[in-house]
Structure 1
């Protein structure tokens, strides 16, 4: 099973439980063990994390976050024609309190599948990055390296 198969459509189905995330990460980890055994690392193969570092392999979780932000950027800047998706994201109102510095509204719920669904997951990630990242102007060629440098361990 290849990485494209593991990453296809993650904006919609991204796992959120620790068990589901670790099951998916194990697939990439097994591949890294094979790479380390077969090709080795100068100075000796020690752990899967050594293979990750030597070959600049990022975790699938980090890659899913980059995919989420690229999707959000493309939708908000008209690179993907999706007015229904744009209408889902509401800008957060600016109130007198400085505690809630956020760009997008999230849905308050006790249901984990709603809390971790695509809308809330994307909104939370955008809110965590919006003071450092410009989502609404610039080009995709500038946005991609910027978001990768912020989210990936090995950009």
Structure 2
């Protein structure tokens, strides 16, 4: 019988396990987690629709940001979708939700977001990735947990800023979309003033 932490315990093989609110499947594709969160978010959109006879733009934004969007963003750096169907599945929650507003029913999704001053959820995930990268590289997290996640470029002829990252090669397509790989190109494209900003709230011209 195998042992675990000194106690005789049989470890069960499972296809999916929930840890800190994220459903992690055996292939690290996060299909179940994405579908679960999309279903929860859609249920809350339906609850808002049934609970409010009339919504103006301001009330809609407050409710969507507080009740719906967190389900589609929590720990997204871990499970961020890379398949087109999953990206659209997540985005469609916000797309359908905007149609609750009478003044937006005949507008395109892009036009609706512009009037509501809301970004796409895809953009929000990218922004979240960049914030996480900034925090890791600037040692905002405990170094015992964040040390070694990224490799800084050491080439003397490398163009770009002083915190340029090295992108690891991978034989598997799936690994290309891991957090540590997918953020590299965007992060490396930033100017020095962004990556060395004193804090994430600092605005640059």
Q: Fold-level match, TM-score > 0.5?
A: yes
Residue 47 (structure 1) shift: 2.0
CA distance in 2: counterparts of 1:136 and 1:87, whole angstroms: 19
Distance 1:49 1:10 in 2: 23
User: Could you list the runs of 4 or more consecutive aligned residues of structure 1 that deviate by over 6 angstroms after TM superposition?
Assistant: none
Note the alpha carbon deviations across 1:19-77, whole angstroms, 9 max, x for none: 11011111110111113x2xx15xx8422222111011111110001111111112222
SS at match of 1:87: coil
Higher relative contact order (CA 8 A, sep 6+): 1
Q: Distance in 1 between matches of 2:83 and 2:143?
A: 29
Equivalent residue in structure 2 for 1:113, among 160, 171, 174? 174
Partner of 2:88: 22
Is 1:76–1:136's contact at 8 Å kept on the other side of the alignment? no
SS at 2:148's partner residue? helix
Aligned with residue 92 of structure 1, among 150, 153, 157: 153
What TM-score do you get using the length of structure 2 for normalisation?
Answer: 0.59
3-state SS in 2 of match to 1:34: coil
2:138 equivalent in structure 1: 77
More strand by share: 2
Q: Which residue of 1 aligns with 2:78?
A: 12
> Could you report, residue by residue, the CA deviation over 1:51-104 in whole angstroms, capped at 9, with x for unpaired residues?
111011111110001111111112222222143433121112326576xxx811
Number of residue pairs the alignment of both structures matches: 138
The structure with the larger Rg is: 2
User: Partners of 2:113 and 2:78 in 1: how far apart?
Assistant: 26
Normalising by structure 1, we get a TM-score of 0.76
Give the Cα–Cα distance (whole angstroms) in 2 for the partners of residues 83 and 121 of structure 1.
23
1:46 aligns to what? Answer: 107
Aligned to 2:120: 59
Greater helix proportion: 1
Question: Please, which runs of 5 or more residues in structure 1 have no aligned partner?
Answer: 150-155
- Answer whether contact 1:77 1:137 (CA < 8 A) is retained: no
